[in-house]
Structure 1
Amino acid sequence: MASGKKIHKDYFVFNPTIAIIIIFNAVILLTAWLCPNSAIVQKMGFIGSIISWLGNEHSTLTMYLCYLMIVGHIAEALVAFILCLRLGLTLPTTMKWIITTLIVGMPSLMNLIYIPGDEKKIK
């Protein structure tokens, strides 16, 4: 666990590739739940047909998956907040961790839990 490690107070890691993939998938899931028959979905080709099928044929499952995604990301952001407090990170850095974990979820949180060896000790 990261709580026993000494790290720099501005320690922050962000992976934009993973963030883009997760945001794209979250938008697809939310679109399938909220507006599966919109004009934009109809123009998306194969992905649009999957979104429309998922939203129309499995609307209850899509709704529960969206709720699970939202609650899961909020819980992960709370864990990130607690870890940042234990690590003694600065307020701006803590806010970065909370926001990225709220958006990206577990991949961002894993960077906070398993800190690489280079960042372990700052004098």
Structure 2
Amino acid sequence: MRRADRLFQIVQHLRGGRLVTAQKLGTWLEVSERTIYRDIADLQSTGVPIDGEAGVGYMMREGFDLPPLMFTRDEIVALVAGARMVRAFGGAAMARAADEALVKIGAVLPDAEK
């Protein structure tokens, strides 16, 4: 996994609002605790509001938001196809969730990609 992807995954995991240890993050991302400590320190130095300390755990302060996601054309096709399959075969609740997901995906797409 590229470092940028790992940093993004750490941020996504910490946004859950629960205390997470470096050990759990390291196991999940298949890297050492030391790597997680370095990654957390780097994220904090760039302004990402992560609270916590080594040995205790880390969590994200509320209110932190990432910029909108940018999808490739293939990712968009895969997401739309998957949502349509869920809508067709997943029951009423899943169909509603798929429709809501498609609306959210459409909201972040440039006009040329819609």
Question: TM-score, normalization: structure 1?
Answer: 0.23
Which is bigger in relative contact order (C-alpha 8 A, separation at least 6)? 1
Question: TM-score, normalization: structure 2?
Answer: 0.24
